[in-house]
Each structure stands twice: as structure tokens, then as C-alpha cells.
């Protein structure tokens, strides 16, 4: 159902929803970027639509709402364990089309690949997704190439237009709240072209894993892992136990985000590690995003948000890499 409603009234509806839901959206954090006088846009709690950064791409994705950077799984004493409580409230997440496609990738890993992840599921089941439109493509975006520029899979679409708000709702509770609003046909804003275009490689032959091509990345990558942390489809974590210093017998087990670029990712007890070369780590990540995941699950993992290109301190471009790889695959054939 489509609606038009006054901005103030919509904020009042959100205020009401926030009694049962924490509302997360991309916000601007002034001066909080990695460099001096640079802002960062990342997810945070909001209570008013004016707090949402609609005009620019967020540097970090929504994934931390469902996969916290550090998540306590359980608390333990010497002989007992207690599962960490779930959040008391549900969540409402504002996100763009590409990130909604990324959500499907998270679902695949956490709900379908092996046992259901109970921690993910309890958050996911209690989360509503509100689509933010894109009136223009941002720098480094290649969602059109990845087919993630459009989506139908939202609980609501919301656009702020001056003092009015346009909505498209598929969520009964929101429909009820919007009962007094004017009915209006609302079509989400989707981009249909990007400046950056990628050509996806056909099945990449294993012989290319050792191509000199990857050495360029080995020379440039500093293994900081930022590309993984900003990626909405990177889902890896490492287990971490800690105990409370004032009571050495009690503590907690957490999972924290992990990065396949960062040292230690493959280290086994005894010291053996795989992929010591950073170029091979790049190869591993690229292959996962545009080859391996598809072989296993049928769609590419990468959704073309370009955040990895935005964040890389060494200016490594993932989209360039895919295009070069495609050219290599063609040559190889």
C-alpha cells in the first residue's frame, strides 16, 4: 500500500514504533572518519528521520545489526553456561537495495549452510527492513552489474520529500499506523546504470590461482582487513573467550568479526598457516565473492556496493580486479 504523510506525523509513528523496535539507519558522524576532518557514515540508532543520511552511501553496512562486531554467545562459570539474552526490542533497519540483496547472502550462510545459527535467527526474525531509494549511483557502485540495484523484498519503502514522506508498506503494523495518511502510488527510486561496470568472469580455472596477476595485489595489500569489515556480505568470525579479572573463574565466549586478509585467519595450533602471501588472500576473497559462492549457492556473493573500493587505503579496486580477472579468463579460454 502506498501513502503520503506529513513528516512530523511520520516521525510520531516512528516514535511509537520505537517502543517495540530499535530503529537503525545510516547516520553521519561528523569528524569521525579515518582521516582528519572527514566524516563517517555508519549505522546507529535514530529517533527522527532527519538523523538519517539519505544523500550519501554509508561507509559501513547494516550487517552489524544482525551480526554485531562482537557478540556474546554465552556466559560461563566453571561448570555451567548460560546463553546470552536476546535484545529486548526488535529492530527496524533502513537500507538500500544492494544491502537488501546482501541480507539474502547473510541468510544463506547463517540459516541454510549447515545448522541454523540461533543467534542470527533470533535477531533476524525480529527485524523489519525499510528500503531507502537511490536517485543516483554513488562513486564505485556497480550494483547494476551485480543485479542488486532493484528489489521487491522490503517491509516498507520510505522517501523523505521536503516536509512530506512517501511510503510503500507491506507491513501490517505500519499500515495500521498509517491509517489516516493519504493513499498514493509510490514507486521506489532505483538506479538503472552505474559509472562503474563490471564484467563477471565465467568459471575461473584453477590454473589462474597462481597467475602473476595476483602478485600486484600482494605488493599493495597491507592486510588491514577493512574491505572485509565494510563488506555487507562478509560473514566470518572467530571465537574468543575472556574472563573477568576480579573473578578468574567466570567469563564469556564471544564471536568477533574475522577477516581473510588479516594475519592469523588460517593459523592452526602448532603454527601451520595457509595463504601467507597477501596476493593469495586477495585471490581467495575475490574468488569467494564472484566464483565460489555462486558454485555453492547459485548467486554471486558480491552485491556491488563498492564499499571495499571506497575504504581501501592502498586504492585497490575490487571492480577493476574483477574486470581484469574476466579478461584473463577469456584469454585462458
Partner 1 sequence: MTIINPYLPFLSEITAVIKHTDIEYTFRMTYQGDVKPGQFFEVSLPKFGEAPISVSGIGDDTVDLTIRKVGKVTDEIFENYVGDHLFLRGPYGNGFDIDNYKGREILLVAGGTGLSPVKGIVDYFSQNPADANGFTLLVGFKSPADVLFKDDFTTWQKNLNVIMTVDTADDGYCGKRGMVTEYIPNIPIKNVSDAVGIVVGPPMMMKCTIAELLKAGFREENLWISQERKMCCGIGKCGHCKIDDTYICLDGPVFNYTKGKFLKD
The number of beta carbons lying within 10 Å of the beta carbon of residue 167 is 22
State which of positions 80-109 bind partner 1 (CB under 8 A).
Answer: 81, 83, 109
Of 44, 51, 76, 310, which one interacts with partner 1 (CB under 8 A)?
Answer: 76
Backbone φ and ψ for 7, nearest 5 degrees, come out as: -55, -45
245 scored as a contact of partner 1 (CB under 8 A): no
Of 19, 35, 78, 85, which one interacts with partner 1 (CB under 8 A)?
Answer: 78
- Alpha-carbon distance of 294 to 300, in angstroms, equals 5
Burial class (CB in 10 A: 0-12, 13-18, 19+), 28: middle
Nearer to partner 1, 179 or 207 (CB): 207
Nearer to partner 1, 94 or 119 (CB): 119
* Alpha-helix runs per DSSP H in the chain: 7-17, 63-66, 97-107, 118-124, 143-146, 172-177, 213-220, 226-230, 278-287, 293-297, 307-311, 318-332
114 scored as a contact of partner 1 (CB under 8 A): yes
- Tell me how far, at minimum, the Cβ of 165 lies from partner 1, in Å: 36
- Tell me how far, at minimum, the Cβ of 322 lies from partner 1, in Å: 17
113 scored as a contact of partner 1 (CB under 8 A): yes
- Alpha-carbon distance of 234 to 303, in angstroms, equals 11
State which of positions 247-286 bind partner 1 (CB under 8 A).
Answer: 248, 251, 253, 255, 258, 260, 265-272, 274-275, 280, 284
Question: Of the candidates 142, 133, 85, 175, which has an alpha carbon nearest to the alpha carbon of residue 320?
Answer: 142
- Tell me how far, at minimum, the Cβ of 107 lies from partner 1, in Å: 12
- CA triplet 75, 230, 273: central angle to 5 degrees? 70
Quick one: which segment of 32-40, 78-86, 142-150, 306-314 binds partner 1 (CB under 8 A)? 78-86
Quick one: which segment of 114-122, 128-136, 193-201, 213-221 binds partner 1 (CB under 8 A)? 114-122
Nearer to partner 1, 40 or 72 (CB): 72
Question: Of the candidates 292, 295, 282, which has an alpha carbon nearest to the alpha carbon of residue 321?
Answer: 282
State which of positions 209-238 bind partner 1 (CB under 8 A).
Answer: 209, 235-238
Amino acid at each position: 500500500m502506498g501513502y503520503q504523510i506529513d513528516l512530523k506525523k511520520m516521525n510520531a509513528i516512528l516514535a511509537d514504533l520505537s517502543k517495540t523496535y530499535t530503529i537503525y539507519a545510516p547516520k553521519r558522524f561528523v569528524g569521525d572518519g579515518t582521516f582528519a576532518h572527514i566524516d563517517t557514515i555508519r549505522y546507529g540508532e535514530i529517533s527522527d528521520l532527519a538523523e538519517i543520511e539519505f544523500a550519501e552511501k554509508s561507509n559501513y553496512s547494516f550487517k552489524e545489526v544482525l551480526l554485531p562486531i562482537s557478540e556474546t554467545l554465552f556466559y560461563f562459570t566453571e561448570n555451567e553456561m548460560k546463553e546470552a539474552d536476546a535484545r529486548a526490542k526488535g529492530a527496524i533497519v533502513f537500507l538500500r537495495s544492494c544491502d537488501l540483496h546482501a541480507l539474502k547472502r547473510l541468510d544463506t550462510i547463517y540459516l541454510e549452510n549447515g545448522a541454523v545459527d540461533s543467534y542470527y535467527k533470533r535477531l533476524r526474525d525480529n527485524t523489519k527492513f525499510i528500503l531507502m531509494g537511490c536517485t543516483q549511483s554513488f562513486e564505485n557502485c556497480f550494483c547494476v552489474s551485480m543485479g542488486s540495484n532493484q528489489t521487491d523484498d522490503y517491509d516498507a519503502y520510505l522517501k523523505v520529500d521536503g516536509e512530506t514522506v512517501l511510503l510503500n508498506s507491506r507491513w501490517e503494523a505500519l499500515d495500521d499506523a498509517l491509517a489516516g495518511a493519504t493513499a498514493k502510488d509510490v514507486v521506489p527510486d532505483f538506479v538503472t546504470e552505474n559509472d562503474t561496470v563490471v564484467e563477471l568472469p565465467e568459471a575461473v580455472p584453477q590454473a589462474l590461482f597462481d597467475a602473476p596477476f595476483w602478485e600486484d595485489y600482494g605488493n599493495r595489500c597491507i592486510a588491514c582487513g577493512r574491505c572485509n569489515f565494510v563488506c555487507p556480505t562478509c560473514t566470518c568470525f572467530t571465537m574468543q573467550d575472556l574472563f573477568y579479572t576480579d573473578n578468574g573463574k567466570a567469563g564469556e565466549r564471544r564471536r568477533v568479526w574475522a577477516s581473510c586478509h588479516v594475519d592469523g585467519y588460517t593459523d592452526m595450533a602448532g603454527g601451520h598457516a595457509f595463504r601467507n602471501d597477501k596476493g593469495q588472500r586477495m585471490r581467495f576473497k575475490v574468488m569467494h565473492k564472484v566464483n565460489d559462492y555462486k558454485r555453492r549457492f547459485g548467486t554471486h556473493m558480491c552485491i556491488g556496493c563498492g564499499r571495499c573500493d571506497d575504504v581501501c587505503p592502498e586504492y585497490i579496486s575490487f571492480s577493476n580486479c574483477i574486470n581484469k580477472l574476466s579478461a584473463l579468463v577469456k584469454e585462458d579460454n
